[in-house]
Structure 1
Amino acid sequence: MKKHFIILEPFQHQVSCCCPGEKHHHVIEFRQYDVWTITDDWKYVDCLGWYSLIEVNNEFQFLMHVEDIEDLYTKGIICSILDLDLRINHLRFKVNEALDAHDRELFLSFSFDLNNLQEMRSKLRYADMQVF
């Protein structure tokens, strides 16, 4: 099953290309709101471990070490689409809770965060990423 993630913070990643007779290194820059689709294609490299094929914005693909993907997720640099939707639902609840409590500061804080996440989510829909 394919899994979809969104880039929350811009970062760079170095990938190696093993061409016959020579080895190249390329740096890929990922922007905020880029969408990764982690495919079902895996590759095991002796002494290095498992790599997964990732498609970026339906434009290109590259292999990334599974532990690197897990590290990015743990650090909050990437987020699953499901996690994003859960964050939005939670913030909606917190906004309503702040309204009920007549807490202006919390309401403004949660509303700001909610608007940012909803804007991010709408950009995903607008970009016509086929992840929904």
Structure 2
Amino acid sequence: MEGTLFVYKPFRYEKGNTDCSCHEIIRFQHGDLLHIAGDPFYVDSLGWYIAVQKNDSSPFYMAAHFIDDLYEKQALYTKMDLTLAMNYHKYKVNEALDRKEKEVFLQHSKAFDRFKALHPEFTPVLKE
């Protein structure tokens, strides 16, 4: 699995069970990063877990099937996924310009901008 996943759609993760002092709800928003921080391990009767980290916060464990489900629902993207999505929407923007389709142009321009904002090669770096 890739080292970093990019959050496209907001979601929340409930860490621990409600009876545990470690219980916490972690919210992810568009633009957050989910770093894979370790190798997966198996917990009897619970399944596979993996150490992850939200942005620069402390690592915690997340169910691997939860990550897989989010990826399938296109809430998480890899860097390659972002590049492919940007290429697709850029093509559709150019096609809409050629055909003079304003609505299609606006739709794909907006989608392109949302993916571009996540992509690490296009994200502006703030200088001090």
TM-score normalised by structure 1 residue count:
0.77
Structure 1: which 5+ runs fail to align?
none
Match of 1:7 in 2: 7
Relative to 1, partners in 2 of residues 1:108 and 1:31: Cα closer, same or farther, differing over 3 Å?
closer
In structure 2, what is the equivalent of residue 66 of structure 1?
64
State the 1:23 CA deviation: 3.3
Shift of 1:115: 2.3
| 8 A contact 2:93–2:109 mirrored in 1 | yes
User: Structure 1 residues 14, 124: closer, same or farther in 2, change over 3 A?
Assistant: farther
Q: CA deviation at 1:66?
A: 0.9
Check whether the contact 2:13–2:26 (CA below 8 A) recurs between aligned residues.
yes
For residue 39 of structure 2, give the secondary structure of its aligned residue in structure 1.
strand
Could you say which structure has the higher strand fraction?
1
The CA distance in 1 between the partners of 2:106 and 2:15, in whole Å, is 42
Structure 1 outlier segments of 4+, above 4 Å: none
Letter in 1 for 2:90: R
Q: TM-score by structure 2 length?
A: 0.79
SS, match of residue 60 in structure 1: coil
Query: Hey, what does 1:23 align to over in structure 2?
Result: 20
- The root-mean-square deviation of aligned C-alpha atoms, in Å, is 2.6
Aligned residues: 124
CA distance in 2, matches of 1:57, 1:2: 15
- Once the two structures are TM-superposed, the CA of residue 88 in structure 1 deviates from its matched residue by 0.5
Aligned 1:1-132 pairs, distance under 5 A: 2-16=2-16, 23-24=20-21, 25-121=23-119, 125-126=123-124
Structure-1 separation of matches of 2:125 and 2:49: 27
Q: Matches of 2:27 and 2:9 in 1, distance apart?
A: 11
